[in-house]
Chains A and B, each alone.
Chain A
């Protein structure tokens, strides 16, 4: 009887904290690991180290889509909805943007954004799959939280030469 009671209490506690955890990570923010070298100078600077960077993803900004040029965002992949990618926003709706390796200039349609990795050498980004709908954006990366020597905020960087607003 005693063990049953303890088990019941434990499962009730686990359920409560699981529920609170899911809500907080959906509405306010969560921690995610960055894999791969596509954002290389910003995240995972040395490919030799085994430790991945862990980042804090702010989701409160999605409430009114307060995103601006240079923000690093997490979004789910266009080809596989279970995959998440981390890239930097280069262009927002209405901007004209020059596609890399190509002389074309493209206007970003309403409700979309243009994302690119910081490491142009190894990055699958909007240059290959085109603009990303803002509805797929799942959060904005604000801080690096692990490893301890790299804790700090992620700064906004805008490559000025790529976009023109008219």
Chain B
């Protein structure tokens, strides 16, 4: 009788451990190995789409200090800790960075030195990006991951087609105006 209860309890503990292990994997893999994120917004425009790209980021190299210039990184925004932004690392600690104050008007520029333990991040689209030019260099500790892959989906191809279609239909607006409005929906 006692032996039977023991085996039942052992079985229950084993099952519970397997469930706990599964839940822990759900925490550990996106935090320590790699995760996927959807990136919105115009700030990385030539590289990433305005309409939301799925990117895959790995979370190993920032812990080892292997982030270098030119890497695309996920950074916890210094202005809002709940928000994560995707930018490119332009300067590491000790670098001198020159940037235009306002690229839309004039070419006044300013030069800054990145202090110890900080990085200088910028969006690829200098015209519409809220980055180190506004809030200054960010501490390295805010880096959450390094983007290394952008997912391509069939829908991307369809979008390209649709863009072509809408251009085409813009020239001949007699038919298929539905496609145009659907294409506008992404912004």
Contact = CB atoms under 8 A, between A and B. Distances in A.
Given A16-B21, A19-B21, A19-B24, A77 B79 contact: no
Given A16-B17, A135-B142, A111 B27 contact: no
Contacts of A76: 139, 141
A19 B78 contact: no
Interface in B76-114: 76-82
B58 to A, nearest CB: 17
A136 B17 contact: no
Contacts of B117: 77-81
A133 B78 contact: yes
Nearest to B27: A23
A77 B77 CA distance: 16
Nearest to B138: A133
Contacts of A26: 27, 31
Contacts of B76: 133, 135
B139 A78 contact: yes
B24 A135 contact: no
Contacts of B32: 22
B118 A27 contact: no
Interface string A85-112: 0000000000000000000000001111
Interface in A7-32: 16, 19-20, 22-23, 26-27
Interface in A94-148: 109-112, 133-137
A135 B78 contact: yes
B25 interface: yes
A78 B80 contact: no
Contact of B80 (A23, A27, A110): A110
A111 B78 contact: yes
B71 to A, nearest CB: 15
Contact of B23 (A23, A65, A136, A137): A23
A133 B17 contact: no
Nearest to A84: B141
Contacts of A23: 23-24, 27-28
25 contacts: A16-B17, A16-B20, A22-B24, A22-B27, A23-B23, A23-B27, A27-B27, A65-B81, A77-B117, A77-B141, A78-B117, A78-B118, A78-B141, A79-B115, A80-B116, A109-B79, A110-B79, A111-B80, A112-B78, A133-B76, A133-B78, A133-B138, A135-B141, A136-B139, A136-B141
Given A20-B24, A22-B27, 10 more contacts: A19-B21, A19-B24, A20-B20, A23-B24, A26-B27, A80-B116, A109-B79, A110-B80, A111-B78, A133-B76
